[in-house]
Amino acid sequence: MNNTRADIEQSGFSILPSTFSQDETLELVSDLQRSPLRRSKAGIRHALRHQAIRDLAADPELLSVARDVLGHGATPFRATLFDKSPRANWLVVWHQDTALPLQERRNTSGWGPWSVKDGITYAHAPVTALSQVLALRVHLDDSNADNGPLRVLPGSHVKGVLSDDDIEQLVRVTPASDCLVPQGGVLVMSPLIVHASSKAQSDRPRRVIHIEYAACRCFDGGLELAIT
Band (pLDDT 50/70/90 cuts) for residue 2 is low
Measured in whole angstroms, the distance separating CA 2 from the mean position of its chain's CA atoms is 21
Average pLDDT over residues 6-31: 95
> Would you list the domain boundaries of the chain?
2-222
Instruction: Check residue 180 and give its pLDDT.
Output: 97
Instruction: Kindly report the backbone phi and psi dihedral angles of residue 205, in degrees, each rounded to the nearest multiple of 5, phi listed first.
Output: -70, 160
The backbone region for 225, taken as left when phi is positive above 0, alpha when psi lies in -120 to 50, beta otherwise, is: beta
Asked which of 14-28, 72-86, 105-119, 132-146 is least confident by mean pLDDT, the reply is 72-86
Asked which of 22-36, 80-94, 121-135, 148-162 is least confident by mean pLDDT, the reply is 80-94
User: How many residues belong to the chain?
Assistant: 228
- pLDDT of 158 > 70? The answer is yes
Say whether pTM exceeds 0.85: yes
Instruction: Check residue 197 and give its pLDDT.
Output: 92
Instruction: Check residue 26 and give its pLDDT.
Output: 94
Instruction: Check residue 186 and give its pLDDT.
Output: 98
Band (pLDDT 50/70/90 cuts) for residue 182 is very high
Determine the Cα–Cα distance for residues 130 and 126; give it in Å rounded to an integer. 6
- pLDDT of 218 > 90? The answer is yes
Determine the Cα–Cα distance for residues 72 and 52; give it in Å rounded to an integer. 23
Band (pLDDT 50/70/90 cuts) for residue 34 is confident
Identify which of 190, 162, 132 has the alpha carbon closest to the alpha carbon of residue 10: 190
- pLDDT of 103 > 70? The answer is yes
Instruction: Check residue 76 and give its pLDDT.
Output: 98
Query: Domain 2-222 is of which CATH architecture?
Result: Sandwich (2.60)
Instruction: Check residue 1 and give its pLDDT.
Output: 58
Query: Which residues 6+ apart lie within 8 Å of 227 measured at CB?
Result: 48, 77, 78
